[in-house]
Amino acid sequence: MPTLLQIRSSIIAENSQSNALMNAYTEAWKVRTPEGQIIVRDLAAEPLPVLDSATLGALMTAADERSAEQQVVVALSDQLIEEVRTADQILIGIPMYNFGIPVQLKAWFDLLARAGVTFKYTETGPVGLLPDTPVVMFATRGGIYHANGQDYQMPYVEQFLAFIGLTQTETVFAEGLNMGQAETAKAAAQRQIAALV
């Protein structure tokens, strides 16, 4: 059964433009893949632990030496990795907050990055260990950054995904949403979605 994994990172839930675009893509995907399964990971509704010394310690401790608390952290990380590993396609909503990604999304990244599990270092550099599953990202911004060559958000996201093995990425942009260009931007994004699905 084909599986679509939705990663939501917006903190404004039903008012989120990135969630709305992901939902539009998902509805079109369901028409083409009626037998498919959809898994939604809402990082705002169910926050993940941020990377602190305790979380890092859990991820770095050998399995037979972990405390009960550390086992809980690693089990969550394992679950997130398995969701990515078994998905046939991944959607990621990425609103821009103060020029960067939401802290909720960063926490997801930090629990995915596991040496020897999702990446490894070699003599020629890092190698991603996850299956190269197609990823569609929905980048929503109040201002205009990508079109003006000032997008520092998506290069970071693409580099991280490639680091763990996800290199087949597409980005649907909706910019200028707070500059009187919302309807034009959303219409352009919908056209991108139609072409991708």
- For the domain that residue 130 is a member of, what is the CATH number? 3.40.50.360
- Measured in Å, how far apart are the chain's first and last C-alpha atoms? 18
Convert the pLDDT of each residue in 23-50 to its tens digit.
999 999 999 999 999 999 999 999 999 9
pLDDT at 80 over 90: yes
Counting residues of the chain whose pLDDT is more than 70, the rounded percentage is 100
Convert the pLDDT of each residue in 104-113 to its tens digit.
999 999 999 9
pTM: 0.96
CA dist list (Å): 157 to 26, 38, 106, 173, 194: 21, 23, 9, 14, 23
The domain total for the chain is: 1
Categorize the per-residue pLDDT at 160 as very low, low, confident or very high, splitting at 50, 70 and 90: very high
In single-letter form, the type of residue at position 193 comes to I
Strands 119-122 and 125-128 turn out to be antiparallel
Rg (CA), the chain: 17
pLDDT at 14 over 90: no
- Arithmetic mean of pLDDT, 65-92: 97
pLDDT at 73 over 90: yes
Mean pLDDT computed over every residue of the chain: 96
Burial category of 4 from C-beta neighbours within 10 Å (exposed 0-12, middle 13-18, buried 19 and up): buried
- Its domain, for residue 24, covers 3-196
- The pLDDT of residue 13: 86
- The pLDDT of residue 147: 84
